[in-house]
Structure 1
């Protein structure tokens, strides 16, 4: 279980409060208005921001003393963060170790095949479509085999059909690996598509997760204003 216990998270002048728990293996969407703190929440779990109060635990272990790379977390950013001068295999291999020697590792080949890019190992990002680049970034996360998968709108630039395909792939991979997923999205349909539960982040507070169908059937006022 992921727990944020009495957390106060500050990013510059912004302050976010969170006191919630996410059950292991759940897929949870994180939604709310722009600037509400969705990315801040993920960055705190990943260790890029440390709470000024409270603590974050995974399976009872305090993550506070751990550097980002030592946490059981893999994070997929909005930009994908691919290195343009590296091949697809080299970019994925960085998920295993910060050296290019891992590009030929069988786990890299397997991950690229799993996301539908078998045979494209030697292509550079400039030679790939937006959807293919998103798949490379997802494969890099996949090879890390971490317990927590954090998605900060990595498919926002894709069209609706391709975004839906990528979300389905995330759901399938999470089911296979047992990973717990926190997914930031501005699209309620994304949450409805793959999320078991939803965390609403607004007005400086991350609310405890609520079952997706129940939340959208009777949204709280802050979510109703956001949905319009």
Structure 2
């Protein structure tokens, strides 16, 4: 059974938000992990889901998941951060595990073209609502002409300011992951920053780790 189309997910298993594609704003849908699990159970007589915590810090968790079905064995990795996922800071292990399972199911062919709702922090739990759908968010990056990179500015919060090397790494990783300006704005918002230059050194390091996982997946 293929799950490569909207028809396989029920309406209550999808959340939506607007993203900028080229010069146009489009509405994109993101299935919740429950939808992928339902399809998995309906499509297979025998399944196995195993998870393993590979990193457990006070505010950063990495979990690996392995899903076995009649189509084979598929792995996925999920991360969660106390700063990025502030609303679910008390459930980081569960969140990282959910993301890992969602990615493994996606790699296994269930909704392969859809990023999971749980992988995008600002749409966890419910669809994002836009009060002004015609207003485009301000670009996270400064006006980019050529290969210029953002300059580092002090954050002034006493926790150590982001370095130029970290800014360059964040810039490169988000570009490689094909993040839109809105995607970047969304991952920065829980960190109380609007640009990479406003991050602390610690939060920048955690964000780099997360993006490296995304790019490597």
Task: Give the structure-2-normalised TM-score.
Answer: 0.27
Task: Give the structure-1-normalised TM-score.
Answer: 0.26
